[in-house]
């Protein structure tokens, strides 16, 4: 993300950034979403400053600079701007020392200022950078919010994904995206799915065409984004294939480096796919709460077999009784 883009997004993030100096460096790139404070860098320990990370100047850094003699202040700032910094941000609306603005202008490093306190500025900036710099890709499928669980429905074209989504909407669930799902990964383990702005709230139904779900079912039938927590793979019924009938083993699928639970759902005439997808979502919610129906039943069977085995052992005659 460029510093210019960050400056342009100031209203959306609530940072309300002002450019104080270094306008020539607005094309500098922020490559890491993690913020760094100068810490001891102003005192000479600047080897720990990392390239590509925004540098924060809070009240302690500004006051430290003010207490330095002019030659020492200039030397510390030149050593600091000798690092490959994308930009420097001053928080709390503090006045930057003249040498700070001058060195930023000389080095071509944008000097920004926000009125927010340092912790709040770091928090909002981190959220923005993590969102903008998150790995992302576009997937073909349907994303639904089923009872608060984000379910990504995938399968070959024409298998009935959109019809399943429409049936789920009729059952009271919410559409996030149809046909094209934009997925981004946050915090290395959270997948967020959204719909492109152009096709948002729309479903394509063969034989009917495009329909607007919000117009037909109301605003409560859609949402703009949802965390993806389950994948349902629709595939045509293959009589030669042996499908899982117990559900003891949990299959997974990789999406942007995150393993998601996978349910393979065979599609055949007479099977209510939407109802089965809803049941799969309900079952996944129970599993996340520690209730795995197949494993609980298996343990009950094992305990009963153990009791039967002990009973038969007690009924067996001893060798001396024969």
- Phi, psi at 307, each rounded to 5°: -65, -40
Number of domains in the chain: 2
- 189 and 244: one domain? yes
Whether 70 and 176 map to the same domain: the answer is no
Q: What is the pLDDT of residue 309?
A: 76
Interstrand relation of 190-194 and 174-186 (parallel, antiparallel or unpaired): antiparallel
Structural domain of 222: 136-293
The pLDDT of residue 11 is 61
Top-confidence residue, 322 or 286? 286
pLDDT in tens, 59-100: 888 888 888 888 888 888 888 888 888 999 999 998 988 898
Those residues whose C-beta lies under 8 Å from the C-beta of residue 318, and which sit 6 or more positions away, are none
Please tell me which residue in 53, 161, 202, 226 is annotated as part of the active site.
Answer: 161
Tell me, yes or no, if 307 is annotated catalytic: no
Is position 292 annotated as part of the catalytic site?
A: no
Which of the following is catalytic: 37, 139, 179, 186? 179
Residue 225, pLDDT > 90, answer yes
Q: Tell me, yes or no, if 300 is annotated catalytic.
A: no
| Catalytic status, residue 161 | yes
Residue from 92, 83, 115, 90 nearest 20 by CA: 90
- The pLDDT score that the predictor gives to residue 317 is 60
Nearest one of 56, 43, 59, 40 to 111, comparing CA atoms:
56
Q: What is the CATH number for 281?
A: 3.40.50.300
Q: From the candidates 140, 171, 236, 307, which is the catalytic residue?
A: 140
**Residue 113: exposure state from Cβ atoms within 10 A (0-12, 13-18, ≥19):** buried
End-to-end CA separation in angstroms for the chain: 87
Residue 48 lies in a domain: yes
Residues 156 and 232 placed together within one structural domain of the fold: yes
Element (H, E) at 317: none
Of the candidates 67, 245, 311, 312, the residue annotated as catalytic is 245
Coil, helix or strand for 171? Answer: coil
Indicate whether 144 and 289 sit together in one domain: yes
Mean pLDDT of 129-144: 90
What DSSP character marks residue 318? P
């Amino acid at each position: 993300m460029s510093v210019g883009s960050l400056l342009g997004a100031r209203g959306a993030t609530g940072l309300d950034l002002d450019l104080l100096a270094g306008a020539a460096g607005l094309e500098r790139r922020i490559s890491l979403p993690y913020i760094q404070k100068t810490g001891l860098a102003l005192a000479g320990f600047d080897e720990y400053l990392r390239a590509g990370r925004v540098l924060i100047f809070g009240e302690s850094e500004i006051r430290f600079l003010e207490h330095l003699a002019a030659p020492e202040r200039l030397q510390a700032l030149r050593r600091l701007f000798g690092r490959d910094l994308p930009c420097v941000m001053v928080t709390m609306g503090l006045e930057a020392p003249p040498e700070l603005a001058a060195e930023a202008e000389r080095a071509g490093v944008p000097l920004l200022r926000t009125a927010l306190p340092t912790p709040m500025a770091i928090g909002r900036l981190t959220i923005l950078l993590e969102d903008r710099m998150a790995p992302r890709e576009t997937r073909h499928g349907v994303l639904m919010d089923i009872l608060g669980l984000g379910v990504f429905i995938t399968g070959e074209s024409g298998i009935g994904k959109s019809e399943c989504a429409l049936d789920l909407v009729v059952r009271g669930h919410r559409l996030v995206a149809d046909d094209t799902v934009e997925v981004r990964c946050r915090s290395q383990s959270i997948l967020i799915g959204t719909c492109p702005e152009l096709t948002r709230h729309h479903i394509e139904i063969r034989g009917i065409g495009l329909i607007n779900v919000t117009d037909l079912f109301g605003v409560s039938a859609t949402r703009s984004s949802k965390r993806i927590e389950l994948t349902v793979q629709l595939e045509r019924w293959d009589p030669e294939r042996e499908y899982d009938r117990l559900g003891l083993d949990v299959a997974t699928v990789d999406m942007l480096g995150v393993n998601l639970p996978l349910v393979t759902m065979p599609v055949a005439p007479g099977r209510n796919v939407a109802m089965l997808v809803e049941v799969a979502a309900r079952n996944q919610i129970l599993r996340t709460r520690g209730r795995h129906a197949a494993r609980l039943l298996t343990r009950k069977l094992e305990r009963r077999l153990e009791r039967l085995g002990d009973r038969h052992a007690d009924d067996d005659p001893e060798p001396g009784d024969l």
